[in-house]
Amino acid sequence: MNRIPQHIAIIMDGNGRWANERGKERSFGHQAGVDAVHCITSECVRLGVKYLTLYTFSTENWNRPADEVSALMGLILTSLEEEIFMKNNVRFKMIGDMDRLPDIVQEKIKELEDHTAGNTAMTAVIALSYSSRWELVKATKQIAKGVSDGKYKMDDITEEFISQHLETAFMPDPDLLIRTGGELRISNYLLWQIAYSELYFCDTYWPDFNEEALYKAIYSYQNRQRRFGKTEAQVEEEEVKSDK
């Protein structure tokens, strides 16, 4: 319990395949995926995780069949239950292109962010209408305009400066990135932020990703040495010093 990742990011994959294997419509899998979100959110709070970021809908997902997109928007709207966040003392945040979302979804998100702003146990973040390349282009345009307007100087642009212009400026980078569903790719998710995150891939479809599956991912994380470019010996020496 003394090595729980403070920020876990998850690519929730496999809802559609989970439903297809059961002879159901893909929407059935997405609904089951919502139940998994509630389960993992509650468990992360219990474990002491401070930030949980869930890849909910990418900018590329707008290219899916219109009926599936419509069903997903409806499901997102109904699944954002304030009671769940208030019961667990969780603050709700969204990252992504808000302008592309239906007005009713935008209103629900803003309302939920406002009502949960004082909660302190954990921050649950949904990446909705989000992609990392979209985010980086947006940040680049903002910085370029600032330089053009004389607000910033070229020498102001550092790694930290860029991070401050990203959607995720309010939270630390992920310690652990989990992808469910058996695929071995990042899918345009938090590309800047996961530069030194530990990556964990599993075959479990998201609707079946329960507390035990979460423990396995965290256990894998705990048994790795995070070096951030240093040597193993350097890290071990630092750990010895910190224990004294």
Q: Has 210 been annotated as catalytic? A: no
Please state the φ and ψ torsions of residue 219, each to the nearest 5 degrees. -60, -40
Contacts of 221 (CB under 8 A, 6+ apart): 3, 5, 175, 176, 198, 200
State the alpha helices, DSSP H only, in 48-190.
66-79, 82-87, 103-115, 132-148, 159-164
Q: Which of 13, 15, 88, 175 is catalytic?
A: 13
> DSSP secondary structure string, 163-216?
HHTSTTTTSPPPSEEEE-TT-----SSSTTTTTT-EEEE-S--GGG--HHHHHH
CA distances from 241 to 1, 100, 126, 201, 226 (A): 21, 50, 38, 33, 16
Please state the φ and ψ torsions of residue 36, each to the nearest 5 degrees. -65, -35
Please identify which residue in the block is written with the tokens 């949904």: 126
CA 6, CA 49: separation in Å to the nearest integer? Answer: 5
Q: Which of 15, 20, 61, 203 is catalytic?
A: 61
Two structure tokens written together for 131: 């992609």
Q: Has 243 been annotated as catalytic? A: no
Please identify every residue annotated as catalytic.
Answer: 13, 61
